[in-house]
Amino acid sequence: MSTALVTGASAGIGRAFALRLARQGSDLVLVARDRARLERMAAELRAQHGVQVEVLVADLSDRAQTEAVCRRLADPGRPVDLLVNNAGFGLRRSFLDNDVREEEAGLDVMVRAVLLTSHAAGRAMRERGRGAILNVSSVASFIANGTYSAEKAFVTVFSEGLASELAGTGVTVTALCPGFTRTEFHERARMRISALPEALWLDADVVVAQALADVAAGRVLSVPGAQWKVVTALVRAAPRPLVRGGAMRALDRFRRRG
């Protein structure tokens, strides 16, 4: 039986990953900050699916707590077959209007923690000759719109580079780049989302199903949803000045208050 470690597992896309993986029979290591929520979820998954579920409470903006997750990933006696790096959050205001401590926390969670956990998992998996790393990025990684885009651009390009480094080792790396997905993410960031066209929305379960299918196929980039495949292709082909000031920035205005 395989084991998957999921960060940001208590809510949103991370929770959807945990639920689907449990249904597929995978044992789980659930990582998030909220112990009570994780424990409730773990009990539910054990009862419903008969899988082993380990709870690992960690705030990935804290270096020491992130290193505890890395030690779990590197443990040769308890191998992790799939790492899902999902933890992240959005910030409502623009960079210069945000508290720089919030910006730094975002960088720690969505860049530093991805780098550290991928390093620990990648080494352990390469030594065993098998495994998969799935880093949750975003279609925002293909545009230029604030630090969230920049952080997700790191995740996408880093994943592509690591996939090349691990080619032929039996270990795959996939960057998942979803568009707008119905989860708690926007509510937590206090973003206004009701004005967004319905056609742009993705269901979290569909995103997860497509991501896991792409991991199984060894694909490096996973962009769920036909509409977002088209958007991504257009954005990647467009001149950078247009990308910097174009349609995706207009979409961003729909989802922000004030």
Question: What are the catalytic residues?
Answer: 148
Per the structure block, which two tokens stand in for 114? Answer: 């991805």
Helix axes 63-74, 113-128, angle to 10 degrees: 10
Per the structure block, which two tokens stand in for 183? Answer: 């989860």
Write 188-193 long-range contacts (CB < 8 A, 24+).
188/89, 188/90, 189/89, 189/90, 189/91, 189/92, 190/92, 190/257, 191/90, 191/92, 191/255, 191/256, 191/257, 192/254, 192/255, 192/256, 192/257, 193/254, 193/255
Per the structure block, which two tokens stand in for 131? Answer: 């495994």
CA–CA gap between residue 153 and residue 177 (Å, rounded): 10
CA–CA gap between residue 89 and residue 101 (Å, rounded): 14
Around 173, how many Cα atoms within 13 Å sit in the side-chain half-sphere?
28
| Torsion angle defined by CA atoms of residues 53, 114, 208 and 203, in that order, rounded to the nearest 10 degrees | 120
Q: Which helix (H) or strand (E) holds 31?
A: strand 27-32
Per the structure block, which two tokens stand in for 239? Answer: 């001149």
Show Cβ contacts of residue 92 under 8 Å, excluding neighbours closer than 6 positions.
189, 190, 191, 256, 257
CB 160 within 8 A of CB 122: no
